[in-house]
Amino acid sequence: MEIDKKIEPCINRQPAVILKRSVTGNMAFDIINNGDVNELKNFICNGGDVKSKNSNGITTLMLACGSGNFGMVKVLLEFGKMNITDRDNKGRNCLHHLCLGRHENPEIFHIIQPRFLIQIKDNDGKIPLEYAVQLQLPLLVKLILDIGNYTDVKLCYDFSNNVIVKPDNANRYGFVVDSTEKSIPFILAQQTKQQIKQMTLRLPKWENMILLLKKGVFHPKFVNRMYKGMPDEVRSEVWKLLLLKDVDYETLKDEFNRLNQPYTKTPIDKQLDLDVKRTFQLHYTYKVPYGGNQKVLFNIFHALASRTENLEFTQGMTCAPSILTLFLDEYSSYAGTVQFLGEKYRLKEMFSNFNLLTRCWNITRLLLQKRNPKLAQKLKQLGIIDQPLPFFIFDWHYTWFINAFNFELVLRIFDVIILEGFYALFSVADTVFHFLENEILNVQNTNVLQQELKTPLVLLKQPPTVNQFMKYMEKHKIKSSEIDSLLKL
């Protein structure tokens, strides 16, 4: 039966009349257990006592909240003048009881004035949000976070206990694609028998190179073979050897755990949570809210914000580290991200302001004018070459081309970036312009071109294969010394 939310005031108050024997020894508790709103109203209007507690210190309001009965809660507050801040013997308030009752009732939530309750810890040290997370009550979680301006959002990650299982329909890199447009970058071509055979033959060579790499020795053909493509089976090990060779891994592991203790907060947590939710939404490890790699990625940047002075977190900063989480464990992903912030990769500098990005664009156009003056002149005619920061550059250098190509090419480029660092970005841009030359020379609409350059290979009816792209990129690789000289201009 739908409860009328407009409850009439008490009129002609009469002495309380007990119509039946109490089951619990407290008539008010019996009425609430029966769920009869009108009976409760009459009981109060006739002088019945609703402010007593049971042996556990639970009030009638807590009981009504725990049962999810909005009509009861409304009567108790309006007629019974109940105190919302009362706490039971375990230190729990009525919001704790709403969560523990597993009733996601927004009407009850708002009427009990939750802003006064969300930060109250019970005797076990738990605020209501912790129970809402553990009991998997997403609506209550959102309501509590909204009231608290997401200051406690880390608890959602701390106490998420969802089990992540790879579904049968995930592709070889873990993406679950469908027919929608957002799936296009993650659709992988079926590997041919020849490709599988080729990677199988490469595997022993890579295993031998890994043995040398563990001793700090680069095989003479290591770089060339990196551009040709490494087998998926060795990717995680190679990344760790390249990224973590100068890292005190155990110290960083201890640091990661220490900085991610429950109830810790950083100024970036709210924005970080938004960024994490936008990350790799089609990957099975990112599909579970607050769990899986969502939890790993959040904890990486939460720890970084605690350890790094003036970490200027902005949207897009999680892009490169999110790739690490797909192939490495959480500690290696954290250690790798720490490396990304340093001099070789310059991720922190890139996101501190737009100064480095502006210099990247300046270098890119200078290189274009030197290597392909005809194309540079066309971009000048279109009004692009002289722009301070064309917006497609944010999908290029700013986020390491991660959203610019099909994931298979993204991964191959990422391998090279891990090997060569920040400098590799300029070779990627140069390769893009090489393959787009004819199309750009025939373009008339500047705005359309700039939009399409965000995912540049869509301009081509027959784009290069991954191997063709990487082969050109290796052959025409821009030397770091040339980039350094341009950075000084």
CATH number at residue 217: 1.10.8.270
Same domain, yes or no: 395 and 482: yes
Q: Given this model, what pLDDT does residue 210 score?
A: 97
Indicate if 387 and 334 belong to the same structural domain: no
Q: Which of 5-19, 24-38, 265-279 has the lowest mean pLDDT?
A: 5-19
Work out the average pLDDT over 161-176: 91
Whether the per-residue pLDDT at 309 is higher than 90: the answer is no
Same domain, 283 and 411: no
Residue 13 has pLDDT above 80, yes or no: no
Q: Return the CATH number at 86.
A: 1.25.40.20
Does residue 403 have a pLDDT over 50?
yes
pLDDT at 353 over 50: yes
Whether residue 137 has pLDDT greater than 90 = yes
The answer to whether residue 184 is domain-embedded is no
pLDDT at 19 over 70: no
Tell me, what's the pLDDT at 8?
Answer: 59
pLDDT for 487: 79
- 132 against 7, higher pLDDT: 132
* pLDDT of 306 above 70: yes
- The per-residue pLDDT for range 321-346, each reduced to its tens digit, is 999 999 999 999 999 999 999 999 99
Residue 7 lies in a domain: no
pLDDT of residue 190: 85
Shared-domain flag, residues 222 and 290: yes
- Give the residue-averaged pLDDT of 173-182: 90
Instruction: Tell me whether residue 168 is in a domain.
Output: no
Is 78 part of any domain?
Answer: yes
pLDDT in tens, 48-65: 889 989 999 999 999 999
Do 369 and 431 belong to one domain? Answer: yes
**For position 170, what pLDDT does the model report?**
95
For residue 188, tell me if it sits in a domain: no
Q: Do 205 and 326 belong together in one domain?
A: yes
Q: Read off the pLDDT of residues 79-94 as tens digits, 9 standing for 90 and up.
A: 999 999 999 999 999 9
Q: Say whether pLDDT at 230 is over 50.
A: yes
Residues 369 and 465 in one domain: yes
Give residue 5's pLDDT. Answer: 47
Name 487's Cβ contacts closer than 8 Å, sequence gap at least 6. Answer: 359, 363
pLDDT band at 392 (very low <50, low <70, confident <90, very high): very high
Confirm whether 8 is domain-assigned.
no
- The whole-model pTM stands at 0.88
- Expressed as residue numbers, the domain containing 369 is 352-486
384 assigned to some structural domain = yes
pLDDT confidence band for 162 (50 / 70 / 90): confident
Boundary (domain end) residue, out of 300, 321, 347: 347
In the predicted structure, residue 23 carries a pLDDT above the cut 80: no
231 and 104 within one domain: no
Would you say residue 166 lies in a domain? no
Question: 318 and 202 in one domain?
Answer: yes
Residues 435-457, mean pLDDT to the nearest whole number? 92
* Closest C-alpha to 33, from 101, 86, 79: 101
Of the candidate ranges 12-21, 27-36, 228-237, 281-290, the one whose mean pLDDT is the lowest: 12-21
Q: How confident is the model at residue 25 (pLDDT cuts 50, 70, 90)?
A: low
pLDDT for res 11: 52
Same domain, 401 and 475: yes
Mean pLDDT of 266-289: 95
**224 pLDDT exceeds 90?**
yes
The lowest-confidence range among 25-39, 166-180, 244-258, 388-402 is 25-39
Q: State what percent of residues in the chain have pLDDT above 70.
A: 95
Backbone angles phi, psi at 262, to 5 degrees: -55, 150
CATH number of the CATH domain containing 459 = 1.10.472.80
Average pLDDT over residues 425-433: 97
What pLDDT does residue 1 have? 31
Domain closes at, from 150, 185, 205: 150
Do 340 and 404 sit in the same domain of this protein?
Answer: no
Average pLDDT value for residue range 174-190: 89
User: pLDDT grade, residue 415 (50/70/90)?
Assistant: very high
Residues 200, 335 within the same domain? yes
- Asked if pLDDT for residue 47 goes beyond 60, the answer is yes
Q: Average pLDDT, whole number, for the chain?
A: 91
How many separate domains does the chain show?
A: 3
Among 331, 347, 363, residue at a domain's last position: 347
